[in-house]
A and B are shown apart, each in its own frame.
Chain A
Amino acid sequence: MTNTTSEPSLTSQPAAAPEPATASAPTRGFTGRARAADRDPRLPPGQYDARDGWPVLSAEVTPRLTAADWTFRVDGLVARPRTWTWDEAHALPASEYRGDIHCVTSWSKFGVRFGGVSLDAFLAEVGPSATATHVVAYSHTGYTANLPLADVTGGRAWIVWEYDGEPLAPEHGGPARLIVPHLYFWKSAKWIAGLRLLDHDEPGFWEQNGYHHRGDPWREERYAGD
């Protein structure tokens, strides 16, 4: 996945300093469907409410991955690297996320409910080293996303297998995915296979393809340089 070195790098340029934010100029005749006055305060800037919709935005083929084949590994800078099977992961204390999710393609979805296990429960079993600062989350497809360790600890990230009380659909990352709801949803790797703890930041798939390294929706960290 991260093997971009063998690829032609036709527009490769060094990263430039961030530009100052450009203010929007009004568009002739555009009023907007949602008025600013009654804009839902749960909506980060530049987002719209997808309501009942749940767009699917993955770059790869949805894998044929069953619960029996699914495993989840945590390794790298940890005391006791470990791989969990489906049943072993389900034996950990159940935890739920209820709240909102935000995709960089501009939709947000309010009041979703995911069931699974807090990432803290997995990390407690492997014992992160004091030197670990970042993680690479990777999926059974080879997709990767980088995250500061602080963004996936302290009750801020989950491995989930249920959506709204039902098994998570394959196209939404089933049988199990990561969710890190306070960041844009590309960080919430579908078909999660593992986390590697590192002492440095290592850009993942979309980050190498021009997206922001952190991805905070409230700061509109969409693209590199934002």
Chain B
Amino acid sequence: MDTPFVPPTAFAVPGRISVSSRSASVWQQALITQIRRETPAASTFRLKVPDWQGHLPGQHLMLRLTAPDGYVAQRHYSLASAPDDSGEIELTLDHAPGGEVSGHLHTVAQVGDLVEVRGPLSGFFAWPGDRPALLLGAGSGVVPLMSMIRHHRRAGLTVPLRLIVSARTRADLIYADEYGDETTAVLTRAEGRLHAGHLAPYLGAGQPEGGWEAYVCGSNGFAEHASRLLVDGGQPVDRIRIERFG
């Protein structure tokens, strides 16, 4: 048919993968097989999803809870686990005070309970492991980025991968024991917030050949701040992907 219309504008960020509409449209029962505390405010929920079609690091799903009278609440959560063939996936949730869905999962849900999920969704924030990636995350925004790091390790990839993760204190740092040389942690209560100096070693002369694909994830405030720092540091806007948790 006609060639697709490409707007005459700058900064275009292409999607990374095309998404299966089948897996995106079907709700599936997911069995909670494990609940692990990560920090005082965050826990990881391991789910057995019999018909999980696989995912790429960076993708998210939608989780749904249903009350006896049919009332439903649904929220998006990033996949924390690397793609594997275990038939199980992991999510890591912050306990939002007063939060309807995260509150239920943190205070009521137990191993053996069923919830419903659909996904994986959205190919935009996915990282197939093909290009050098510079990851910036804050709080639970590190969840999809950790999936990328786990994938990188599991698959033995050599493509450059760097993570800068921001948390208030070390106790608030999700997955603290799992980070390696690829990670710089910025503990904001002690050091103040992420600044240009944290990015400087990786931008300009510090870039890998062909430059980085940058992935930014967290609250909107963090996403605005971190993406500005990247742009000011010379990272092209069309090589910055942002996932905002709201």
Contact with B along A51-88 (1 / 0, CB 8 A): 00101111111110000000000001000000000000
Bound complex: CA A223 to CA B116 (Å): 16
| A24→B70 contact, CB < 8 A | yes
| A22→B21 contact, CB < 8 A | no
Contacts of B118 in A (CB 8 A): 223
Q: Taking the nearest CB of chain B, how far is it from the CB of A30, in angstroms?
A: 4
- A39 sits at the interface (CB 8 A): yes
Q: Taking the nearest CB of chain A, how far is it from the CB of B130, in angstroms?
A: 6
Known: A26-B67, A34-B71. Is A141-B121 also a contact (CB below 8 A)? no
Q: Name A191's closest neighbour in chain B (CB-CB).
A: B9
- A98 sits at the interface (CB 8 A): no
Q: Contacting B11 at CB < 8 Å: which of A18, A48, A141? A: A141
Contacts of A97 in B (CB 8 A): none
Interface contact tally, CB-CB below 8 A:
231
Residues from 7 to 63 in B contacting A, C-beta threshold 8 Å = 7, 9-22, 24-27, 29, 54, 56, 62
Q: Contacting A223 at CB < 8 Å: which of B25, B67, B69? A: B25
Contacts of B230 in A (CB 8 A): 61
Known: A22-B27, A225-B22. Is A46-B74 also a contact (CB below 8 A)? yes
| B66→A11 contact, CB < 8 A | no
| B14→A36 contact, CB < 8 A | no
- A198 sits at the interface (CB 8 A): yes
Known: A30-B67, A60-B237. Is A10-B12 also a contact (CB below 8 A)? no
Q: Name A33's closest neighbour in chain B (CB-CB).
A: B100
- B106 sits at the interface (CB 8 A): no
Known: A56-B220, A193-B7. Is A8-B227 also a contact (CB below 8 A)? no
Contacts of B7 in A (CB 8 A): 1, 136, 138-139, 142, 144, 193-194, 196
Total interface residues in chain B, CB < 8 Å:
72
| B122→A46 contact, CB < 8 A | no
Total interface residues in chain A, CB < 8 Å:
74
Contacts of B64 in A (CB 8 A): 24
- A29 sits at the interface (CB 8 A): yes
| A28→B114 contact, CB < 8 A | yes
Q: Contacting A106 at CB < 8 Å: which of B1, B24, B74, B237? A: B74
Q: Name B70's closest neighbour in chain A (CB-CB).
A: A36
Q: Contacting A32 at CB < 8 Å: which of B65, B114, B124? A: B65
| B19→A210 contact, CB < 8 A | yes
Known: A1-B7, A28-B114, A34-B71. Is A8-B22 also a contact (CB below 8 A)? no
Q: Taking the nearest CB of chain B, how far is it from the CB of A53, in angstroms?
A: 8
Bound complex: CA A18 to CA B6 (Å): 29
Contacts of A171 in B (CB 8 A): 220, 224
- B195 sits at the interface (CB 8 A): no
Contacts of B128 in A (CB 8 A): 8, 10
Residues from 88 to 119 in A contacting B, C-beta threshold 8 Å = 105-107
Q: Contacting B238 at CB < 8 Å: which of A26, A28, A142? A: A142
- A166 sits at the interface (CB 8 A): no
| B4→A202 contact, CB < 8 A | yes
Bound complex: CA A3 to CA B4 (Å): 9
| A30→B66 contact, CB < 8 A | yes
Contacts of A35 in B (CB 8 A): 69, 71
Closest 7 CB pairs of A and B: A142-B12, A210-B19, A225-B25, A224-B21, A138-B7, A1-B12, A55-B246
Interface residues, chain A, with chain B CB atoms under 8 Å away = 1-4, 6-13, 15-16, 18-19, 22, 24-37, 39, 45-46, 48, 53, 55-63, 76, 105-107, 136, 138-142, 144, 171, 193-194, 196, 198, 200, 202, 205-206, 208-211, 222-226
